């Protein structure tokens, strides 16, 4: 089924309820690389619930992207999911994520942009997540999906969100990190079971030499690098985290995260030096005052 502009712009999902606990919070942190050194006491609160302290466990802000996974507004979109990659991800946190809770999400398609036949399409969705009971806003997510096989459907060609500009000066600092060879298998347990990231045969059908890392796993990995190196592990200070995905990374690769600090804005990009490619660009991490 091909994309119909009117149909895809009508898609929405309301009142989806999801509960999560400390298990999911710790599993997400492990999936983006926290906890590799069991003697690192600064990272311990992200992967360990503590003893007799309900406030010990900390959350990674980018966990917002997996609080409610699957289905949603894009369930009946008509796009070819074998040819889909993540384009952009933006989150705005209205308060720090609790380490456990029940949340309700409302999602809708807010844009569909036609790059042309053979050039793909960009679909933009907005998801608002609130706490059950109080209806307190928790986080707003804006996601762009690049559907490589679905261009030429007759939608608008312009109007997609503009990316955050990276400063033109040299980076203030560069931090080295990596994604271990089996990390995509751990990350998949947070919700994204797309076989593209784990099955070599599926990856080849999609045009990749081997399984690629989930874009949102790389996204979380850059957040780990910033939390660790820029913020002294004060993850609760992050109120926004936006990126553009520019190229896939592969399990086992070393990643260099370039950062620029300007007031409460940390701009960043992530590169794979061994291949000379940028995998995440136009990064913007917003901090509370």
Q: Which of 218, 233, 197 is nearest to 268 (CA)?
A: 218
Q: How many Å is the Cα radius of gyration of the chain?
A: 19
CB 243 within 8 A of CB 144: no
CA distances to 123, 149, 174 from 274, rounded to whole Å, are 32, 29, 15
SS3 144: strand
Catalytic residue numbers read 192, 197
Q: Give the total residue count for the chain.
A: 289
CB 256 within 8 A of CB 283: no
Q: Which of 218, 203, 191 is nearest to 83 (CA)?
A: 203
Q: How many CA atoms lie within 13 A of 191 on its CB side?
A: 16
Q: Which of 158, 161, 157, 159 is nearest to 116 (CA)?
A: 157
Token readout for 126 is 């907005």
């Amino acid at each position: 089924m091909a994309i119909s502009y009117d149909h895809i712009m009508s898609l929405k999902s309301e009142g989806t309820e999801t509960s999560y606990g400390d298990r999911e919070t710790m599993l997400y942190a492990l999936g983006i690389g926290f906890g590799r050194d069991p003697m690192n006491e600064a990272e311990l609160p992200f992967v360990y619930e503590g003893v007799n302290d309900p406030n010990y466990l900390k959350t990674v802000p980018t966990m917002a992207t997996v609080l409610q996974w699957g289905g949603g507004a894009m369930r009946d979109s008509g796009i070819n999911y074998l040819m889909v990659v993540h384009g952009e991800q933006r989150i705005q946190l209205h308060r720090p994520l609790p380490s456990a809770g029940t949340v309700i999400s409302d999602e809708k398609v807010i844009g569909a942009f036609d790059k042309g036949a053979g050039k793909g399409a960009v679909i933009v969705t907005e998801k608002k997540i609130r706490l059950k009971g109080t209806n307190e806003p928790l986080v707003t997510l804006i996601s762009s999906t690049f559907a490589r096989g679905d261009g030429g459907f007759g939608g608008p060609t312009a109007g997609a969100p503009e990316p955050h500009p990276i400063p033109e000066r040299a980076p203030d600092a560069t931090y080295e990190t990596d994604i271990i060879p089996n990390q995509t298998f751990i990350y998949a347990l947070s919700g994204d079971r797309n076989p593209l990231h784990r099955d070599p045969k599926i990856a080849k059908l999609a045009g990749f030499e081997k399984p690629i890392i989930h874009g949102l796993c790389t996204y979380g990995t850059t957040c780990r690098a910033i939390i660790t190196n820029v913020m002294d592990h004060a993850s609760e200070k992050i109120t926004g985290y936006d990126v553009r995905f520019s190229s896939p990374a592969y399990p086992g690769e070393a990643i260099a995260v370039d950062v620029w600090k300007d007031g409460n804005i940390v701009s960043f990009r992530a590169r794979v030096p061994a291949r000379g490619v940028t995998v995440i660009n136009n990064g913007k991490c917003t901090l509370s005052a």
